[in-house]
Amino acid sequence: MSKVKETNVRVVREGHGANCSSIGSVIDTLFVAQVAAGALFAAVAASLAASGSDSKPDSDPAPDSAKGTDK
């Protein structure tokens, strides 16, 4: 196995995804965006569930006498 000579190396990049291709950077960005969107959706769903759990809609708000079906 041959070693890479220092004269053959142009640039060494450091950091997250440093030697990643541009498509890899796009995939990383999409992944982070989906995680953030999922967290936001979960927060909104939890908020709506907490605020709407106390009130139940009436299926028949008017009494039978108001409909004219008194017997």
Q: What's the CA gap between 10 and 4, in Å, rounded?
A: 11
Query: Which residue reads 């960005």 in tokens?
Result: 29
Q: What's the CA gap between 51 and 25, in Å, rounded?
A: 39
**How much is the pLDDT for 32?**
95
pLDDT tens-digit profile, the chain (71 residues): 678 888 888 887 776 665 666 787 888 889 999 999 999 999 999 999 888 755 555 566 666 666 666 55
Q: What's the CA gap between 36 and 41, in Å, rounded?
A: 9
Sorted by where each begins, the domain ranges of the chain are 20-51
**How much is the pLDDT for 68?**
61
**How much is the pLDDT for 70?**
55
**How much is the pLDDT for 24?**
78
pTM reported for the whole predicted model: 0.45
Q: In the structure encoding, which two tokens stand for residue 65, read together?
A: 């006498």
Whether 13 contacts 19, CB under 8 Å: yes
